[in-house]
Amino acid sequence: MAKGILSRLFSCASPHYIAGSGSGGGGNSNSNRDASTSPQHSLSSSLMDENIAFGESIITKWDSDSSDYAMLTSLFSDGHGDAARFLRAVADLRRAMLFYFSPDCPDPSSIRVQSLIRAQSLMQSAMRSLEKEFHRILTANRHRLDSVSLSSSSSSSDDDEIGLFSSNAIADLRSIAESMMANGYGMECVRIYKVLRKSILEEDLFLLGFDIRLPYSNFHKIDWPVLDIRIKSWLAAARISFPAHFAAERLLCSQVFDSSDSDDLDLTESCFADVANAAALQFLSFPESIAKTKPSPEKLFRILELHQALSDLFPQIESTFSYESTASVKVKALETLQALAEAARNSLAEFEVAVQKESSRILIPGGGVHPLTRNAMNFLASLADHVPALIHVYAGVPFRPPEPLPEISAPCPSTIVPAAVSDRIAWLLLVVLCKLDHKAEFYKEVALSYLFLANNVQYVVNEVKRSGLKIILGARWAEMHEDTARRYSERYVRLGPLGWGKAAAAFEEAAAAQEGRLVEDERMREDVKTEVEEMILPAYQGLYESLTAARGGGMVEPAAASVRFSPKGSRDRIEQVFVEPLGSESSGSVNWSFSTSS
């Protein structure tokens, strides 16, 4: 190649040099200028011609339209030697085209046009090959160009291999993109990238259990259990998609198209926006649509989970979608958070309404714990597990109850839980307790109504003490209401079956009546039993001894109904009637649903 260039140089330079040496005057001046410039231009032309010829040998080899070899082999295969030569040939071809297009080119117009047509044809062929390779690499690595391979810090050999493979693929994509954009084929490159990566992102979300193509306008027609399953899927997908898939898409766009040039930065932003914007907006439309469904207590916890998850993810969303062209995603996230907060507040208000409207008049046998009490406390105890979300939901929304909270119902001041949350929950508990007071009035026997209140208030206290409600309300709240339950149980003992205090003469009848009544809390049951023993046994033992003495120290006849048992037997009988109720719920059970039916 060097010999050819030199021979052309000297063959072109000799005539001018000879003619110049034999002339004089002004003619000598022009001839000398031609002699000094023409050889240089001939050298440039020769170099450009050889660039075109070299490019033609490389480019035609990889033209799949004319080469069987190119149809069976990948240009960017192992070793990358062919790819480097191909890209270098394209760069040289571009320089040749710029040279022949330049007004400084000394060649005649016909030669310049002919060279440009030849070079342009080769360039088109080269761009087709690069376009094909760009598509192939993106397709072949559709599941390797993700967050795991782009940002994984794992030290395992498998991840290292994946990371190396992905790094090579990204380097190839970047090289192809730079070449195509430098030669005016950037639109084709970007179009392929956007179409493929958009479909890959949608597929990734689908594999996570979320189909962005599903319509959300009919959510109000779907049964809640079905929506509940979809919400679980969305929550699982959201915790992966935003920190992984969407963030990885932005990173990949940057690594393929960003070369620190302002135009490239705009291209990176444009590619990411076109690939990710629609998917992200549709993804965020799901929780927003859930928030627009009819509020109800059973939906509250999922809505709070959605709100908490989106709140946790918002910094990631804000960082990933920080471009001006992707600002709509941040706005959508904020609007969705606001909609979820309003839906949560409305659902909690529905809980209060449901308690107040609970109108069943069914009497719980034995004065036991009412289903309303169990369901309401399960609901409120579960609500206490969502305090962080509640704090966000009620931020800037002060609580103004219909009437001031009584001192016994007011929560203790806390630096952990703001009053906007603690006062609301204390008010809901007051609503539940007031409803229980009303239900106690349905019992015709006053003593049984007190037993009902003792059981139910103690159940409320127990649920508060073993859940997060204790932190919200404070220990003083639980202590004061436990004292209330104790006072109710004491009144029951005084007014109990036949009046336990008057039952020494009718012990068995009183014991038989107690067998149908329940003292559900173990500690309260022991306290009531002890109090009954203190009231009954001394009087009963005195009666027993009097009758024994009247019969001359002999055993009391079993027929004496008032003293059927010995003092030890009477104690055992009391033990028999104060036992744990059968079928009582374990303390660890949690009912996530709320129902007002009884």
Task: Decide if 414 is inside a domain.
Answer: yes
Same domain, 523 and 490: yes
Lowest mean pLDDT among 7-16, 47-56, 551-560: 7-16
Task: Decide if 151 is inside a domain.
Answer: no
- Residue with the two structure tokens 């000297």: 10
Lowest mean pLDDT among 3-7, 105-109, 166-170, 338-342: 3-7
Mean pLDDT for the chain? 77
Higher per-residue pLDDT: 551 or 297: 297
Nearest CA among 399, 391, 418 for reference residue 352: 399
Q: What is the 3-state secondary structure (H, E, C) of 387-409?
A: HHHHHHHCCCCCCCCCCCCCHHH
User: What average pLDDT does this structure show over 38-45?
Assistant: 57
User: Which tens digits make up the pLDDT trace of 227-245?
Assistant: 899 999 999 999 999 998 9
Give the long-range contacts of residues 543-547, CB within 8 A, separation 24 or more.
543/504, 543/505
Same domain, 293 and 382: no
Tell me the CB-side half-sphere exposure of residue 207, using CA atoms within 13 A.
10
Task: Decide if 314 is inside a domain.
Answer: yes
* pLDDT attached to residue 332: 97
User: Which tens digits make up the pLDDT trace of 148-161?
Assistant: 455 443 334 444 44
Q: Hey, CA dihedral for 291, 297, 301, 307, is it positive or negative? A: positive
- Pick left, alpha or beta for residue 395 (phi over 0 → left; psi -120 to 50 → alpha; otherwise beta): beta
- 585 CA to centre of own chain: 34
Task: Decide if 293 is inside a domain.
Answer: yes
Same domain, 461 and 382: yes
- Using the predicted structure, report yes or no on whether residue 381 has a pLDDT greater than 70: yes
Cβ atoms of 523 and 586 closer than 8 Å: no
Task: Decide if 253 is inside a domain.
Answer: yes
Using alpha carbons only, how large is the chain's radius of gyration in Å?
44
What residue type is 153 in one-letter code? S
Q: What is the 3-state secondary structure (H, E, C) of 68-128?
A: HHHHHCCCCCCCCHHHHHHHHHHHHHHHHHHHHHCCCCCCCHHHHHHHHHHHHHHHHHHHH
Confidence of residue 169 (pLDDT cuts 50, 70, 90): confident
Cβ atoms of 315 and 322 closer than 8 Å: no
Same domain, 434 and 316: no
Same domain, 220 and 134: no
Task: Decide if 4 is inside a domain.
Answer: no
Task: Decide if 8 is inside a domain.
Answer: no
H-only helix segments in 258-326: 262-291, 300-320
* pLDDT attached to residue 108: 78
- Using the predicted structure, report yes or no on whether residue 336 has a pLDDT greater than 80: yes
Structure tokens at 311: 């709140």
- Pick left, alpha or beta for residue 354 (phi over 0 → left; psi -120 to 50 → alpha; otherwise beta): alpha
* pLDDT attached to residue 264: 60
- Using the predicted structure, report yes or no on whether residue 506 has a pLDDT greater than 70: no
User: What's the CA gap between 469 and 460, in Å, rounded?
Assistant: 10
Nearest CA among 343, 348, 346, 349 for reference residue 310: 343
Same domain, 424 and 522: yes
Cβ atoms of 75 and 134 closer than 8 Å: no
User: In 3-state terms, what secondary structure has residue 563?
Assistant: helix
Confidence of residue 300 (pLDDT cuts 50, 70, 90): very high
Higher per-residue pLDDT: 556 or 219: 219
* pLDDT attached to residue 548: 61
Same domain, 399 and 476: yes
What residue type is 477 in one-letter code? W
User: What's the CA gap between 52 and 62, in Å, rounded?
Assistant: 15
Nearest CA among 598, 596, 590, 597 for reference residue 380: 590
Residue 491's CATH number: 1.20.1280.170
Lowest mean pLDDT among 12-26, 61-75, 492-506: 12-26
Task: Decide if 32 is inside a domain.
Answer: no
Same domain, 249 and 313: yes
Domain span at 320: 209-338
* pLDDT attached to residue 67: 58
Nearest CA among 577, 598, 424 for reference residue 503: 577
Same domain, 267 and 363: no
- For the chain, the distance separating the N- and C-terminal CA atoms, rounded to the nearest angstrom, is 99
- Residue with the two structure tokens 């069987």: 68
User: In 3-state terms, what secondary structure has residue 192?
Assistant: helix
Lowest mean pLDDT among 50-59, 84-93, 330-339, 413-422: 50-59
- Using the predicted structure, report yes or no on whether residue 252 has a pLDDT greater than 50: yes
* pLDDT attached to residue 148: 44
Same domain, 321 and 381: no
Nearest CA among 89, 203, 186 for reference residue 134: 186
User: What average pLDDT does this structure show over 418-422?
Assistant: 92
- Using the predicted structure, report yes or no on whether residue 28 has a pLDDT greater than 50: no
The length of the chain, given as a count of residues: 598
Higher per-residue pLDDT: 494 or 199: 199
Please identify, among 140, 159, 191, the residue that sits at the C-terminal boundary of a domain. 140
User: What's the CA gap between 252 and 119, in Å, rounded?
Assistant: 33
User: What's the CA gap between 500 and 513, in Å, rounded?
Assistant: 11
User: Which tens digits make up the pLDDT trace of 64-110?
Assistant: 665 555 555 777 875 567 888 888 989 888 888 887 777 777 777 77
Query: In total, how many domains does the chain have?
Result: 3
Higher per-residue pLDDT: 452 or 493: 452
User: What average pLDDT does this structure show over 342-371?
Assistant: 91
Please identify, among 269, 304, 338, the residue that sits at the C-terminal boundary of a domain. 338
Please identify, among 280, 304, 338, the residue that sits at the C-terminal boundary of a domain. 338
**Residue 224, burial from CB neighbour count under 10 angstroms (0-12, 13-18, 19+):** middle
Maximum Cα interatomic distance, the chain, rounded to a whole number of Å = 172
Same domain, 400 and 485: yes
Task: Show Cβ contacts of residue 558 under 8 Å, excluding neighbours closer than 6 positions.
Answer: 564
User: Which tens digits make up the pLDDT trace of 546-597?
Assistant: 656 555 555 445 444 455 655 665 566 666 566 666 555 443 333 434 444 4
Q: Hey, CA dihedral for 551, 553, 555, 560, is it positive or negative? A: positive
* pLDDT attached to residue 16: 33
Same domain, 528 and 461: yes
User: What average pLDDT does this structure show over 50-68?
Assistant: 74
